[in-house]
Amino acid sequence: MEKIKLDQNKAPIYEALQRLREMRVVPFDVPGHKRGRGNPELAAFLGEQCVSIDVNSMKPLDNLCHPVSVIREAELLVADAFGAAHAFLMVGGTTSSVQSMVLSSCKRGDKIIMPRNVHRSVINALVLCGAVPAYVNPEVDRRLGISLGMQREQVAKAIAENPDAVAVLVNNPTYYGICSDLKAIVNMAHEAGMLCLVDEAHGTHFYFGENMPISAMAAGADMASVSMHKSGGSLTQSSLLLIGEHINPGHVRQIINLTQTTSGSYLLMSSLDISRRNLALRGKEVFAKVVEMADYAREEINAVGGYYAFGRELINGNSIFDFDPTKLSIHTRNIGLAGIEVYDILRDEYDIQIEFGDIGNILAYLSMGDRPQELERLVSALAEIRRRYQKDPSGLLSQEYIDPEVVASPQDAFYAEKKSIPLPESVGCVCSEFVMCYPPGIPILAPGERITQEILNFIEYAKVKGCSMTGPEDPDILRINVLV
């Protein structure tokens, strides 16, 4: 029987909040600011329109923990728009979505196959549930110094070597826009009786744009975490968890409720509702313009010389199976500057804030809110930075990924007895915490991994260049916790 398409003009949470606002209900419930009256500075800063709908769950507004009315209807509309069997509105960011996805699929001792260049939220989920990673170490582009996608042969090898694994997790796309052969990986996982989970934080637009890489749901994946706040236009910290038809939504809801707040923000939920409607009705034209802007910017930046704004020409049919055309990723090392140095100069001297810089690249995140005149300003600034700051690139580190030696599971290492020692004395020890540059939040070291001199060299280099280092207990990152 053909599935009935839902009316994507609807926005049930937004509409319910509008009705509530018109009712002028007297609030003897939380939050205590009482529609902003109790905190006038907050109301002045955020606006009365905003604080007046910062409300608690009530019957007319449904409840995120157990939706039966307007939130349930909003979730059905999301599932319909994204081609999923079911969808969950997430108010703890895509970190919460990723963790719920992994916790729904794995329990203590289960193996999960994944690339090592995952976001910290994935390894955090392993700390929580006790599952054990079987890493597929990604191929690295030596010229750009970036991790690529998961090669089909490597995934097949990992499945053959770990037939008892319960799931395969894929990053798709990576921060830089690199996509794996998702459909092939889904098929391999399913043939082996495993689930396929996709961290699709940076791929909201795959569901709505034309000529985009395949989306997780279209590829037949079992679960996907989608950052609506990144390219989808919703408020920061709002996200989605999508599931396929063979996953039990009731079980997933129970897992979500283990960690997600019982006080779901209606600001975040209404932003998801409104943004889903916008994408369903106008997404195709919106993302066509984004791709057009990105293609124009790549051409202009490459004409400057020295920089390399890379794109679809990298596609090789395997480790770079496809490329996200909206991503404006730019290699900077040939002008003698680390990406993080260009990132800092753009912000401090040109008032341009880009998404991130690492040791060899920068990423300017383009989406529906960008305009051509701002891209012109970015291109001009990059040209001027090259003229003013270019130097000999010799001596710059090139690679942002180092194959880890895994000694213990993330959970065992995180909760084990540990001691704090100076960073230079830690070579050969087993790390019990995370060390990463943020963004992008991919761990350089994760709990259970052996510390090597190469890793320490990378950490010191990243610190010197100005990367924002996060993870360790020691805020100055002069010491590190290791297993006793």
Using one digit for the tens of pLDDT, what is the confidence trace for 292-344?
A: 999 999 999 999 999 999 999 999 999 999 999 999 999 999 999 999 999 99
d(CA 303, CA 386): 12
pLDDT number for residue 469: 86
pLDDT at 358 > cutoff 80 = yes
pTM given for the model: 0.95
Q: How confident is the model at residue 433 (pLDDT cuts 50, 70, 90)?
A: very high
Q: What are the pLDDT digits (tens) for 157-207?
A: 999 999 999 999 999 999 999 999 999 999 999 999 999 999 999 999 999
Query: Hey, which residues does 199 pair with through a beta bridge?
Result: 171, 225
In the predicted model, is pLDDT for residue 439 greater than 80? no
List pLDDT tens digits, range 401-424: 677 899 999 999 999 999 999 999
Assess whether pLDDT exceeds 60 at residue 347: yes
Closest to 263 in 3D by CA, of 36, 92, 78: 92
Q: How far apart are CA 472 and CA 326, in angstroms?
A: 33
Residue 400 has pLDDT above 90, yes or no: no
User: Residue 353 pairs with which residues in a beta bridge?
Assistant: none
**pLDDT band at residue 5 under the 50/70/90 scheme:** confident
What value does the mean pLDDT take over residues 470-479?
Answer: 91
Check residue 295 and give its pLDDT: 97
250: pLDDT strictly greater than 50:
yes
Q: What is the mean pLDDT of the chain?
A: 94
In this prediction, residue 2 has a pLDDT band, given cuts at 50, 70 and 90, of very low
Angle among Cα 220, 167, 102 to the nearest 5 degrees reads: 95
Is the CB of residue 40 less than 8 Å from the CB of residue 293? no
Q: How many residues does the chain have?
A: 484
Q: Which letter does DSSP use for residue 29 in this model?
A: S
What is the strand order of the sheet 195-199 is part of?
Answer: 86-90, 239-243, 223-226, 195-199, 167-171, 111-115, 132-136
Domains contained in the chain, CATH given: 12-280 (3.40.640.10), 284-389 (3.90.1150.10), 410-483 (3.90.100.10)
Tokens of 224: 């996907």
Confidence bin at 1 (pLDDT 50/70/90): very low
Token pair for residue 427? Answer: 């070579």
| Tens of pLDDT, residues 65-107 | 999 999 999 999 999 999 999 999 999 999 999 999 999 999 9
Angle 402-334-362 from CA coordinates, rounded to 5° = 65
